[in-house]
Amino acid sequence: MNNKYQLQWFPGHMAKTRRMIQDNLKLVDVVIELVDARLPLSSRNPDVDKIIGSKPRIVVLNKADIADNSLTMKWLNYFKDKNIEAISANSQTGKGLKKELDNAIEIVLADKFKRDETKGIQRHAVKMMVIGIPNVGKSSFINRLSGRAAAKTGDRPGITQTKQWIRIAGKYELLDTPGILWPKFENEDDAKKIAFTGGIKDEILDVEDLAYELLGYLKQSYMDSLLKTYNLNDSDSELNKYELLESIGRKRGCVISGGEVDTFRTANIIISDFRSAKLGRITLEEPKRNEEN
**Predicted pLDDT at 184:** 56
Query: Could you read off the pLDDT of 258-279 as tens digits, one per residue?
Result: 899 999 999 999 999 999 999 9
Domain map of the chain by residue range? 12-176, 206-275
Nearest to 138, CA basis, from 151, 149, 126, 125: 151
Q: Which residues are annotated as a binding site for GTP?
A: 62-65, 90-91, 135-140, 179
Contact assessment for residue 91 and residue 141, using Cβ atoms and an 8 Å cutoff: yes
Q: What is the CATH number of domain 206-275?
A: 1.10.1580.10
**Predicted pLDDT at 37:** 96
Architecture of domain 12-176: 3-Layer(aba) Sandwich (3.40)
Is the pLDDT at 134 greater than 90, yes or no? no
Task: Name the phi and psi angles at 169, rounded to 5.
Answer: 50, 30
Contact assessment for residue 212 and residue 240, using Cβ atoms and an 8 Å cutoff: no
Helix axes of 207-221 and 241-251: crossing angle, nearest 10 degrees = 100
**Predicted pLDDT at 162:** 57
Is the pLDDT at 63 greater than 50, yes or no? yes
Q: Which residues are annotated as a binding site?
A: 62-65, 90-91, 135-140, 179
Query: Who contacts 44 (Cβ-Cβ below 8 Å, separation ≥6)?
Result: 33, 35, 133, 293
